[in-house]
Amino acid sequence: MKNNRKLIYFIFLIVSALAFSKWLAVTGYEYIGGDGDFMTQVPMEQILRIQSDVIFDLHGAGQFRSFIMATLMPVSLIFYLFSVVGFSVYHSVLLYVVLFHFVSAVSMYEFLLYLGSKFNEWRDREDLRVRLAVFFAILYSLMPFFSQYYMPGHFTVLISGSVFPLLLLFMDKFFTAEKFSWKYPFYIFITFLFMASAFTNIGYFVVYFIIFAAYFGVLVILQPTRFPVYVGRGFVFLSVCALSCMWWLAGTAFFFLTSFNQQVSFSQETIGGSLRVAVTTSQIYKTLLGLANFHPAGVLYPIHIFLFILLLVPFLYFVSKKPRASILYLVFILLSVFIVTATNPPFSKIFEYLYETVPGFQLFRRPYSKIYWPYFFGILSLGYLGTISYLVLNQKLKTFAYIALGVISAVFVFEFSQGVKFIPFNVPTPYYELKTHLRNSQATRVLLLPNIKGRPPFYDKTMNSVGGVSVEPLVLEISSVSFDAENSYSFNEPMLDRMDILYASLMNSNNGTCQNLKEMGISHILLRRNIIRDLKDPVAFVEDRLDASSLLSKKKVFSNGEGVGLVSYEVNASCRTPIIAGVSPQTRVSYEKIRPSLYKLYVAFDNNASDKGLFFLNNYDRSFLLFSKSENKFIKPELYLGYANLYKFDKSQEGGEFYLVNIWQYVFYAGIVVTFLGLVATATLYKIERARVK
């Protein structure tokens, strides 16, 4: 069986490669089951530099950073390794998709084998179970739900559905075993460790919590006498999951808990407010056919309907024969159907009530993207069991079943490979030219325009129509302020208020514009002509107003033959202020970056200075601390200019060396240590257990 497994894994790898063998990098835009574009990750080492930089941080004062850093595991890490080997962007994306589908197939295959082995009457039917598991695993790995999310920013969330079958296998073996073993807690720890990218969408955290709660509830219903055992193992399971995620969760949990009401409000006022639009095509009949929010132009659309009609017979057959064994998968299916249909009948009233009253439910802003995959998982699992159950009694139909499933799998693979086109997102050359220009101009902070009213940015065709996250701060590696959703989601109200005032003064040429620029620490303004949606004012109007301003100079346009347009303006010296400086003009301040998380400041106070203090023009937060080396103590900030940080000193203070740190950066490091210790502990306990068995 072990040798067969290796062969089957090789088959999965070949199938995954063949399914994407003809995919091409193009400049057009085409559908498969959803949007066929990709967003290349910014190099991993660059993300590490940016996301651990104290001065760069504007979002969540460090609390939100660890959440962003979680995207590095494993998605960015994989892309980084591909780049080290020397693969191009195109081939890196292609290899990632192949790897993703291979893991999905292996995960589902292992789960189905385990699922089939739980039925004593099928123990001698290994060949049947293995062959059917191969076909159903391929169908799972190529299910259209995955193909809808080959788009910018969605690489991460796909992992949740990909490894879920394997995770459920580990869970079930752990919970249902007669004797307690550390083997599967260790496996669960490793699995969760490599799922951090998926959980960067907090909605998937909620989805997994719902699924685990449903699983636990079904266990208790089926075997109520083992309730104490399940509670004890449930505690171990949750502890292992928490320890595995602590490296990024430690710095994030406090942020989400303290700002929960604001998050709910943000969700309801923005994307949540258009929930009905998001579920327009999620009617009950489409959801049951697996077509909720599935683009009808997709090549897999008719195949998918045919597949579900075909699976309906074995599905219903197994449910009627073994209803008790079907409960868990029916629960997964019903949960998915209920949440995916959302505000559509027949569950609309119940869903709306939960959406308005239950904490965390507001995260289902686009339900089908969060919890549709358990539906596919449940259908395919019961379809697999039903097919085995039926063929055991009707062995003459085995050959027909193999041929039918083989044809369906082959058609899926063939359709995936037929000229489907994807768009690898490459950062256009003008961005790097702009990056060099800003460095040469000693830029300290850039204001990104146009004003998109707290919405996600959407770029035009010069950027392959990508959207969702501003690429400029990551590419330019410079402190930036913008009107994007990232700022709104971070709830930096004081800074947002100041930005609104600054924008109004720029557009109206008010007398206070110079002072507003100084108080925000803006050195350059960048107008992105390639932003095309949710604009407060047209780009041409904004450019005219900036051109007319006497406070801006050295306008420079960075473009290429494809029409990328980035317009840079330099703020006049009289309207510029360093991000870190003395309150008194007589105070001399210089600083150097020891490492991204630690800045060393040299401060010299003039005896005639009326006010001995430093300001730091980042959004006010008490987690920004200034450490005095001479006094060996931390100085907490006070509110400055209504939004920034002020550090006051005693009149006798002579100055000297100081260090600017963000306490949440060290919480992040502490979380890494806790996760590492958790890994060592679970691995050690498992090793000791194995030694005892031997």
Nearest Cα to Cα of residue 581 among 483, 656, 526, 647: 647
Residue in this structure with the two tokens 């994407």, named with its chain if needed: 20
306 burial via Cβ count (<10 Å: 0-12, 13-18, 19+):
exposed
What's the confidence (pLDDT) of residue 271? 44
Output phi, psi for 557, to 5 deg. Answer: -105, 130
Query: Do the bridges between strand 24-25 and strand 421-422 make them parallel or antiparallel, or are there none, so unpaired?
Result: parallel
DSSP 641-667: TTTEEEEE--TT--EEEEEEEEHHHHH
Give me 23's structure tokens: 């995919």
Q: Note the helical H segments in 270-361.
A: 275-278, 284-288, 301-321, 323-341, 348-357
Q: Rounded distance, CA 625 to CA 627, Å? A: 6
Beta bridge partners of 37: 423
Do 82 and 211 touch, CB atoms closer than 8 A? no
Output phi, psi for 125, to 5 deg. Answer: -110, 40
What's the confidence (pLDDT) of residue 252? 76
Do 577 and 519 touch, CB atoms closer than 8 A? yes
Length of the chain: 694
Q: What is the 3-state secondary structure (H, E, C) of 381-393?
A: HHHHHHHHHHHHH
Output phi, psi for 382, to 5 deg. Answer: -70, -35
Other CB atoms closer than 10 Å to residue 651's CB: what's the count? 9
Output phi, psi for 84, to 5 deg. Answer: -65, -40
What's the confidence (pLDDT) of residue 523? 95
Q: Rounded distance, CA 651 to CA 654, Å? A: 8
Ranges of residues in the chain with a pLDDT under 50 are 27-37, 270-272, 296-297, 488-491
Do 562 and 434 touch, CB atoms closer than 8 A? no
Residue in this structure with the two tokens 């296998």, named with its chain if needed: 169
Collapsed DSSP state (helix, strand, coil) of residue 56: coil
Residue in this structure with the two tokens 């406090």, named with its chain if needed: 254
Do 381 and 331 touch, CB atoms closer than 8 A? no
Query: Do the bridges between strand 445-449 and strand 479-481 make them parallel or antiparallel, or are there none, so unpaired?
Result: parallel
Q: Rounded distance, CA 16 to CA 11, Å? A: 9
Give me 314's structure tokens: 């074995």
- Residue 587 to residues 176, 303, 611: CA-CA distances in angstroms? 68, 72, 9
- Amino acid at site 256: F
Give me 43's structure tokens: 């190099």
Whole-prediction pTM = 0.86
Q: Rounded distance, CA 311 to CA 381, Å? A: 10
What does the DSSP 8-state code read for residue 423? Answer: B
What does the DSSP 8-state code read for residue 463? Answer: G
- Residue 313 to residues 7, 90, 123: CA-CA distances in angstroms? 30, 42, 23
What's the confidence (pLDDT) of residue 33? 40
What's the confidence (pLDDT) of residue 270? 46
Collapsed DSSP state (helix, strand, coil) of residue 668: helix
* Cα angle value 539/540/545 (rounded, 5°): 95
